[in-house]
Amino acid sequence: MTPYKSDVEAVDAFVEKYRTLTREIGKVIVGQDEVVKDVLICIFSKGHALLVGVPGLAKTLLVNTIARSLGLTYSRIQFTPDLMPSDILGTEILDENRKFRFLKGPVFANIILADEINRTPPKTQSALLEAMQEKAVTVAGESHKLTEPFFVLATQNPIEQEGTYPLPEAQLDRFMFNIWLDYPTFEQEIMVVKNTTSDKLAEPEVVVSGAEILFFQELIRRIPVPDNVYEYAVQLAARTRPGTVKAHDWANKYLTWGAGPRASQYLILGAKCNAAINGKYSPDIEDVQAVATSILRHRIVRNYRAEAEGIGVKEIVNELLK
């Protein structure tokens, strides 16, 4: 049963919840407003996010803080070269009664931080990616449902690429957003140092329950979208595909591969959620553009010409958005 009389009233309540949520997260996380917004859009759109940033930018603290504000269970998995699928999913053990019992792995939580996912072999990466897709794990032929809401935030370190196993494009496509984390500004870093070197550490309060998150996820799905916004999202994805009818000149010039239909789906879902957090009851083209960079940057593959000329992914996406 919905606690609201209409979806319009529910969107208004969602806006208030979102503002309170960002305020509570802001007690602990200084700056990084865009990163927090993108992570929350992913959660309320039922997506997963890949976070790329150098060490020391509070990625773990960010996820932990969001989990506490949302009143959700949280697991951190440090990916290493010797990590096995059973270390993530769980395993069957023989108990004292000589019967097999399933021992749940760390993936059985609401929010998973997959730290440095590119440090573990493809077999272990695939185990997590299957759980993301199916919202269930299969061990010894038996399926075990994961608790919803379920959200994976995987991190990658853009430096020190020796001894890593980069995610192939097909697996990168499972992530709704690829979020880049930058260094804080000078003023923000002063605040970070002040907040983290005193004896008074801020604690976020629980703002939204798991049941409310599931309700708002369904609400986002129900938000109506005008036909012109659908057309714009699909056309934007099509413009990234070199050698096709709707390909942009830059796609033909600088890309070897473009975004698939999943990008179009995520552009619409992300636009719906971006509209809702801004108090709008239906998304417009600006909402699609607001989420486009994070959705497209890991779905397009640059060619040698782009690398030789120093044309980056963000530059290409900006040109496609013009």
> Which residues on neighbouring strands pair with residue 103, listed in sequence order?
91
| pLDDT (0 to 100) of residue 160 | 59
Strands 151-156 and 49-52: parallel
The string of pLDDT tens digits covering residues 31-75 is 788 888 999 999 999 999 998 877 777 778 888 888 888 888 888
- Looking at per-residue pLDDT, the higher value among 300 and 57 belongs to 300
Mean pLDDT score, 23-28: 85
Kindly state the percentage of the chain with pLDDT values over 90: 35
Q: What is the model's pLDDT at position 224?
A: 93
Short-list 312, 274, 285, 276, CA closest to 296: 312
283 vs 133, higher pLDDT: 283
Q: Residue type at 107?
A: V
Fold of 7-211: Rossmann fold (3.40.50)
* Cis, bond preceding 149 (omega within 30 deg of 0): yes
| Interior angle at CA 279, CA 276 and CA 284, nearest 5 | 65
Is pLDDT above 80 for 258?
A: yes
Dihedral sign for Cα atoms in the order 271, 273, 277, 283: positive
Could you tell me the pTM of the whole model? 0.89
Report how far residue 143's alpha carbon sits from residue 112's, in angstroms, rounded to the nearest whole number.
Answer: 19
225-321, superfamily in CATH? Magnesium chelatase subunit I, C-Terminal domain (1.10.8.80)
* E strands present in 81-157: 90-94, 100-104, 111-115, 136-139, 142-145, 151-156
Tens digit of each residue's pLDDT (9 = 90 or more) over 120-139: 888 888 888 888 888 888 77
For the chain, what percent of residues have pLDDT higher than 70? 97
| Confidence category of residue 161, pLDDT binned at 50, 70, 90 | low
Mean pLDDT to the nearest integer, 152-180: 79
Which pLDDT score is estimated for 293?
Answer: 92
219-234: per-residue pLDDT in tens?
A: 999 999 999 999 999 9
Is pLDDT above 80 for 12? yes
Distance CA 250, CA 78 (A): 38
The predicted structure's pLDDT at residue 190: 87
Phi and psi torsions of 62, nearest 5°: -60, -50
Cα separation, 256 vs 264, whole angstroms: 19
Residue 176: Cβ-neighbour burial (10 angstroms; 0-12, 13-18, 19+): buried
For residues 199-203, average pLDDT: 72
The whole-number pLDDT of residue 159 equals 62
Determine contact, residues 40/168, Cβ cutoff 8 Å: no
Same fold, 7-211 and 225-321: no
Look at residue 291 in the predicted model and tell me its pLDDT: 94
Question: Where are the domains positioned within the chain?
Answer: 7-211, 225-321
* Secondary structure of residue 112 in the 3-state scheme: strand
Separation CA 258–CA 296 (nearest Å):
9
The string of DSSP letters for 182-243 reads PPPPHHHHHHHHHHHSSS----PPP---HHHHHHHHHHHHHS---HHHHHHHHHHHHTTSTT
Average pLDDT of span 144-152: 88
Across all residues in the chain, what is the average pLDDT? Answer: 86
Short-list 228, 180, 138, CA closest to 53: 180
pLDDT in tens, 78-128: 888 888 888 888 887 777 777 777 788 888 999 998 888 888 888 888 888
